[in-house]
Structure 1
Amino acid sequence: MSETPPSAKQDLPEAPQAGPLSQWLTSQGFDHQVLDNDHLGIERLGVEPLALPLVATALKSKGFDYLQVQGGFDQGPGEPLVSFYHLIQVGGSDGASTAEVRLEVSLARDGDLTVPSLYPLFRGADWQERETFDLFGINYSGHPHPKRLLMPEDWVGYPLRKDYVQPDFYELQDAY
């Protein structure tokens, strides 16, 4: 019987460690996935679309009441699209520091690209969710004004997707 060489054991990636917010959410019974911290050390949490409003509400009750940015990104052709919310606790729990967390919802490109809108919880999500819809095609259910923000209403496709093929031309319709 052969054993795995010591060098092969060292090459295995370590599972991300649960940060303080992940531990708190787990203690409160909120389901989420622990992701690696970003390059600045900010805790990242993966959540399912239907759990997003619940987790965001819990974090808001803990003091994360400022939505710094909402956006999306494409992990590559055939890979998932991601909608993210970067929340900040201004003043932090000690009254002086600032705490941050990023919630990420990963969506299969060929599946349902719908995420519940956080507009009812954070009014600042209004135009940001519209921009993410416009450029990536992620729908935000419950958004009060779900329409294109940057592209013409009749534009076909979502320009920031990595598999987007730019049309040869765009013919303007009747001008106002």
Structure 2
Amino acid sequence: YQGIETLQIKPEDWHSIAVILYVYGYNYLRFQCAYDVAPGGLLASVYHLTRIEYGIDQPEEVCIKVFVSRKNPRIPSIFW
């Protein structure tokens, strides 16, 4: 996404990164999707987070990509 910061992280870091982003005000999951990176290769889960604040017309956004092995496609669940 043009103009949106994109971070690639490891699955084991997802929980910590999600908590940090929440503390910094990223309080809205705009969308989540997943895709095959390559046939028989890695899988990716993409999280698009937004800072929703009263009176802000253009909220800040960040995109997080978590890549996992097809053999062990596990990413910790985040809920608050």
TM-score range relative to shorter protein: 0.7 to 0.9
The whole-number CA distance in structure 1 between the counterparts of 2:67 and 2:51 is 24
Query: Amino acid of the residue matched to residue 78 of structure 1?
Result: G
Moved >2 Å (runs of 4+) = none
**Residue 108 of structure 1: CA displacement?**
1.9
Which ranges of structure 1 fall in alignment gaps of 5 or more residues?
A: 1-37, 122-176
Q: CA deviation at 1:102?
A: 0.9
Partner of 2:9: 47
- State the distance in 2 between where 1:71 and 1:53 align: 17
Which gives a bigger RCO, structure 1 or 2 (Cα 8 Å, sep 6+)?
A: 2
2:75 to 93, 96, 115: 115
- Once the two structures are superposed, residues 59-90 of structure 1 have per-residue CA deviations (whole angstroms, 9 ceiling, x without a partner) of 01101000111110111212211011110012
TM-score normalised according to structure 2 size: 0.86
Is 1:103–2:64 an aligned residue pair?
A: yes
Task: Give the Å deviation of 1:117.
Answer: 0.6
1:99 positional shift: 0.6
Secondary structure of 1:114's aligned partner:
coil
Q: Is the 8 A contact 1:69 1:87 kept in 2?
A: yes
**Rg larger in 1 or in 2?**
1
Say which structure is richer in helix: 1
Structure-1-length-normalised TM-score? 0.42
Higher relative strand content:
2
Q: Which whole-Å CA distance do the structure 2 matches of 1:96 and 1:74 have between them?
A: 34
